[in-house]
Each structure stands twice: as structure tokens, then as C-alpha cells.
Amino acid sequence: MLVLLLLLLPPPPLGWAVEVKRPRGVPLTNHHFYDESKPFTCLDGSATIPFDQVNDDYCDCKDGSDEPGTAACPNGSFHCTNAGYKPLYILSSRVNDGICDCCDGTDEYNSGTVCENTCKEKGRKERESLQQMAEVTREGFRLKKILIEDWKKAREEKQKKLTEFQAGRKSLEDQVEALRTLKEEAEKPEKEAKEQHRKLWEEQQAAAKAQREQERAADAFRELDDNTDGVVSVAELQSHPELDTDGDGTLSEGEAQALLSGDSQTDASSFYDRVWAAIRDKYQSEALPTDLPAPPAPEVTEPKEEPPSVPTHPMEEEEEETEEEEVEEEEEEEEQDSQEAPSPLEPPLPASPREEDKMPPYDEQTQALIDAAQEARSKFEEAERSLKDMEESIKNLEQEISFDFGPQGEFAYLYSQCYELTTTEYVYRLCPFKLVSQKPKLGGSPTNLGTWGSWAGPEHDRFSAMKYEQGTGCWQGPNRSTTVRLLCGKETMVTSTTEPSRCEYLMELTTPAACSEPPPELPADSDHDEL
């Protein structure tokens, strides 16, 4: 800053210009150590020598302070005055080495090299650069003040909205509880009516099933009663070997008698009560089923055009016919196999329930209760969703209002924004106070380079850097992390991204919020000389 002020200061009046005599290579700040009327004492106190041995091209002092203007001492330094630009120290070894190191050329006073004095031109460019930086700082700080005012207004609005939400939450909670009670009251008669409907249907189903079972048993009795004498005997039962109980494939007289509960015959009423339950699962009816599925219609294929026959030897024709028949048989077998064997990728569809097995529609009274309960549920669920949304809004507002957005909230505008930087390989994305990610430019999944951790600037400038931590883990390495440096700028943009260390990224973001208050504007620039 001192250099900036010196460069921007106007030249002093001619009456003020004073040339202070000092040995070559000595800065103005050290001229009082070099008094030609006294012996010279080395700056490190290692020796005292006559003054005429200063700059005599022989190194007498250990620190090289007796040869500020020559290359005699390897550890010495030469001071370039560089009037009109910035002073500079160079190694003594570069004095008179034929290379112009000082912009005023004073380091090559005895080498024969002619150095052009470029200090004024460099000073002009430096001042232009400083002026541009000062302009950026002034404009950035102006925008920063607007950002601060915007956050003050936004914070007041958010606080007002938060207060309204907090006040409305209680009434919405009461509404949810009232609707919950109405829902439960409506669901109770609905449940009872649905259970009554199901119970009645199940009773009907059970009665129909019992009726079908009795009919089936009566059909079986009639089939078994071969002589139609009204009873089923042991011999008649033996005509159905599938009723075998010991697994030998035949129904013996003893087995048949055991099925008849030890009797030699049974009438129709006793047959259903004592015999049918034991044989119903094995019994095979003699009557043909009347509800067999219709055979599939044969596939109609268009006849293929056959090429004209070519006369061949009779034996060759027979061989070809035989081969064709074999091929056709193989194809038919393959088709049958493919039809019989279900595809492993297509599981069999579950059998659809019969119409009589489906529960009938609810009656009007039950349906009315169901509709009323559903309406109560819908109103309750809608109110409950509204309450959850409100609680989420309250949580977000509380978090945003209490967040540390800088000394005066100047960084708050970054909270809901994201910024990208595209390089040759990746697209980097920074969402301040949330996360940093990296995505391949040519497509692919993004990689988390860290989520918001904390402000990470030095103690005296804590808001100059952000730290994002616990990103995606590196292969056999730590989790990725990113440090974001905040630089003063008129626009908000990511200007660079690097990886100084493995899995540790450095990103730079320019923003008006990082601009400090500039010093008062100084008079017009002009050249100046070092006093």
C-alpha cells in the first residue's frame, strides 16, 4: 500500500528535490551508516575499516555491507533506485554481469553494456494497473453496500414470514388434530360396515362351497352305484383303483371296507358324512368334463412358392425326401419342446379369480360410509402435508436467518446460487454454503468435492476463504475437500480451479462481497523520483 501511495503521489515541487549523497548500491534508508567523514563499521559489527575501502571491489565485511555497489562479496546485495518505478534489491553477483537487472540500468555502470532506462514506462503501466484495481475495488465496494442493504431487507422479510409461519403453525396443528378426530370417527363405521359386508360374503361363499361339495359327492355316489340300488358296496368302490391307500395300485377289499368305516355298503346320506371326505381328493369322475377349453385354432400360413423341380435320379429323390422328412420331424419336435417348456424369462401368469370368487360391490349404505371416510382421510392428509411443508419452511428460514453470511451479511446472496467453470476435461460447479462438484465434460456422474464446512480464512480475515469437506473418497486416499478463495471483483464468477495436493482442490471466486473499502481517491497520477 505504501508503494501504491508513493506511485500515486504527485512529484514534489522542484524546491523539495534533495539528492542525498551515498555510495552506489546503498538504499536511502541506510545512507546514515555510510558517512565518508568517518571509518565504516560493518552492519553486522564484524569489523571497522577506513571509508575509502567501501566499494573498492574487495570484500572486507562478513556480511558484504562494505561492497554494496560491486560484485566482490558473494552474500552482498545491490539496491536499484529505479526512479519512477519500484526500488529493487538484486544479488551483488549480478552487478556488471552484462545483463540489465535494474530498470534504470545502474547495475551495469562498468560492464560496457548500455541499458535503456525503462522505469518511467514500467511505472506508467504499474499505475494503470493499480488504477484499474482501484476502480474494481471502488465499484465492487459500491455493489457490496447494495448487497448489504438487500440482505437487511431480505432478512427483515424472512423474519416477518417466519413469525407468520410460527403463528400459523399452532392453528394448523389444531386443524390437523381436529381432522384426525373426524377421520377416525368416519373410519369406525366404515370399518364395521366393510367387515359386515365381507363376513356376509364369506358366509355365502362357504354355503356355496358346501353346496358344490354336496353336489359333487352326490354325483360321485351315483357314479359308484353301478346297479342303482341306492347303496355303494365294497365291490363298487373297488372299481376305482385311484382310491388305493397303501400305494400298490389296487384297492383291496379290506381297503374298500375301511373306507366304508368297516361296513359292507353305505347309502347316500352316510356316504357324504363318512366316506366322501376320505376319497374326495383322489376320486376321479367317470364323466367327461363339459367345460374343456376349446382346442387352439391351427395357424394359417401362406404357402411358400417352391422353386421348379429339377429332374434327378430316383435314388437321389428318395434320399432327399427322407432327409426333408427328418428335418421336418426335428423342427416339429423343437416347436413342441418350445411350446411345452415355458420361457425362464416369462413366469406363468397367476390364475385370475372366478367371478363367483370375487367379492360383490358394496351396497349403497356401505359405499356412502366408505366415501365419507375417504373424504375425511383426504382432508386430513392434505392438512398434514400442509403442516409438514410449513415446518420445513420454518426450519429453512431459521437456518438462513441464523447463518453466518459475513460481518454484515454481504455473502447472503450466494446462498441460493451456483456457479460453474468449464475446463478442457471437467465442469466444476460451486454452490456456496452447500457443495462443490466435478463432472466430466463429455458426460458422466458428478463427483462430490466437498460439502460446506466453515469459513477458513486467517484469523484477521476469516471471511476470505471457505472450506468444503467430506467429499467423495479418493482411491486409497482421503475424502476430497476444496478451499474456495474469495477475491474482490465486480462480477461473481469462478475464475480458476486447481489441485495443489492429491484430493485437495483450490478454487477462486470473485465477488463484490469480498471488496474492502478503498482509500479516498488521490489526485491525478504523475511520475516521481525517490527522495
Selection from 469, 470, 465 nearest residue 484 by Cα: 465
User: Residue 241's pLDDT band (boundaries 50, 70, 90)?
Assistant: confident
**Exposed e or buried b for every residue in 222-235, given b needs 16+ CB within 10 A?**
ebbbeeeeebbbbe
pLDDT band at 283 (very low <50, low <70, confident <90, very high): confident
The structure's pTM equals 0.55
Q: What average pLDDT does the structure give for the chain?
A: 81
Residue ranges of the chain that CATH labels 2.70.130.10: 412-514
Q: Which residue has the higher pLDDT, 143 or 520?
A: 143
The pLDDT of residue 329: 54
The C-alpha atoms of residue 303 and residue 284 are separated, in whole angstroms, by 45
Q: What is the arithmetic mean of pLDDT over 97-117?
A: 90
Distance CA 386, CA 393 (A): 10
One-letter amino acid of 310: V
Q: At residue 159, does pLDDT exceed 70?
A: yes
Burial class (CB in 10 A: 0-12, 13-18, 19+), 291: exposed
E strand map for 329-471:
419-422, 426-431, 435-440, 447-455, 465-469
CA distance 186 to 378: 12
CA 231 distance to own-chain centroid = 80
Q: In terms of C-beta distances under 8 Å and separation of at least 24 residues, what long-range contacts does 92-98 make, across chains too?
A: 92/25, 92/64, 92/67, 92/68, 95/25, 95/69, 95/70, 95/71, 96/70, 96/71, 97/71
What is the C-alpha to C-alpha distance for residues 226 and 434, in angstroms, rounded to an integer?
89
Cell of 319: 434320399
Mean pLDDT of 434-446: 92
Question: Residue 7 pLDDT more than 50?
Answer: no
Cell numbers for 152, please give them.
Answer: 437487511
**Other residues' Cβ atoms within 10 Å of the Cβ of residue 249:** 8
CATH class of 412-514: mainly beta
Q: Are strands 481-488 and 504-511 parallel, antiparallel or unpaired?
A: parallel
**pLDDT digit string (tens) for 176-208?**
999 999 999 999 999 998 999 999 989 888 888
